[in-house]
């Protein structure tokens, strides 16, 4: 089962998506009826759109399980998934999307069935580090001794090295260390060792830890 709108869109483009099953949740009945009426007007000759269930209120675990059973998607309008629903959606690999603009729901449905859906991405900054000292080792190369000044850094972050405002490196970490041990994460206020696949680093450089994520629709 596809676990993203982009994957569903790719299936539509390939011709392997046979139908699009939807669970619709909204804050009030007026909005719910408007959304259902608009969805019914979407032209989808090749891929039928079926509203399996619709109701008012927040998105619940039952909504997620219904989507799983029908291989569908949960769309919410001014309706958020509760904690149990979020955990269930992640575990069961069910697509759950919440919106605050009705047009965005309709537009994304059309893009999916036409094979045109492309997600928007945004860069999320996790933390900043100052390189305070460089250590050279024959086996691992240069380790940048850093102080985490804001936020945090984790092993899966991307890294941007800035020197006098200019970008000197942008890419992945080789390793993240504390006291010679590999670690997954280092929080603000602590020291750590950062190994990068570049030697173009100097004391005083600024390291920005970030991740690129699909932009959330709220």
pLDDT in tens, the chain (218 residues): 446 777 777 787 777 788 888 999 999 999 999 999 999 888 776 788 889 999 999 999 999 999 999 888 999 999 999 999 999 998 998 989 999 999 999 988 888 887 755 666 788 999 999 999 998 887 777 889 999 999 999 998 999 999 998 999 999 988 999 988 889 999 999 999 999 988 899 999 999 999 987 665 43
pLDDT digits (tens, 9 = 90+) for 114-145: 775 566 678 899 999 999 999 888 777 788 99
In contact, 199 and 134? CB cutoff 8 Å: no
Rounded to whole angstroms, what are the CA distances from 103 to 35, 41, 107, 116, 128?
A: 9, 13, 6, 16, 38
What are the sequence ranges of the domains in the chain? Answer: 5-113, 121-214
Residue in 138, 197, 140 with CA at minimum distance from that of residue 168 = 197
Cα 179-180-182 angle, rounded to 5 deg: 105
Q: Residue 158 and residue 150: Cα distance in Å, rounded?
A: 16
CA atoms within 13 A on the CB side of 66: 17
**Tokens found for residue 200:** 């173009």
User: What CATH homologous superfamily does 5-113 map to?
Assistant: Translation initiation factor IF- 2, domain 3 (3.40.50.10050)
Identify any residues that bridge with 74 across adjacent strands, giving them in sequence order. Answer: 23, 96
What is the model's pLDDT at position 216?
56
pTM over 0.85, yes/no: no
Q: State the CB neighbour count (10 A cutoff) for residue 60.
A: 18
CA atoms within 13 A on the CB side of 191: 9
**What CATH number belongs to 121-214?**
2.40.30.10
What is the model's pLDDT at position 119?
63
Q: State the CB neighbour count (10 A cutoff) for residue 216.
A: 9
pLDDT digits (tens, 9 = 90+) for 93-105: 898 999 999 999 9
Q: Residue 201 and residue 70: Cα distance in Å, rounded?
A: 53
Residue in 168, 117, 166 with CA at minimum distance from that of residue 13 = 117
């Amino acid at each position: 089962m596809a676990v993203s709108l982009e994957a569903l869109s790719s299936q539509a483009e390939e011709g392997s998506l046979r139908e699009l099953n939807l669970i619709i949740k909204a804050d009030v009945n007026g909005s719910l009826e408007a959304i259902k009426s608009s969805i019914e007007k979407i032209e989808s000759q090749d891929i039928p759109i079926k509203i399996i269930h619709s109701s008012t209120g927040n998105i619940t675990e039952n909504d997620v399980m219904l989507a799983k059973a029908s291989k569908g998607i949960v769309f919410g309008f001014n309706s958020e998934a509760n904690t149990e629903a979020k955990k269930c959606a992640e575990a069961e690999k069910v697509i759950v999307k919440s919106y605050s603009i009705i047009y965005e729901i309709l537009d994304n449905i059309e893009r999916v069935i036409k094979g045109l859906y492309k997600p928007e991405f945004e860069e999320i900054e996790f933390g900043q580090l100052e390189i305070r000292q460089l250590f050279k080792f024959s086996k691992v190369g240069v380790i940048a001794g850093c102080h985490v000044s804001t936020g945090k850094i984790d092993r899966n972050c991307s890294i941007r090295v800035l020197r006098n405002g200019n970008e000197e490196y942008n890419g992945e970490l080789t390793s993240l260390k504390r006291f010679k041990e590999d670690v997954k994460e280092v929080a603000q206020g602590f020291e750590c060792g950062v190994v990068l696949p570049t030697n173009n680093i100097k004391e005083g450089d600024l390291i920005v830890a970030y991740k690129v994520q699909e932009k959330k629709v709220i």
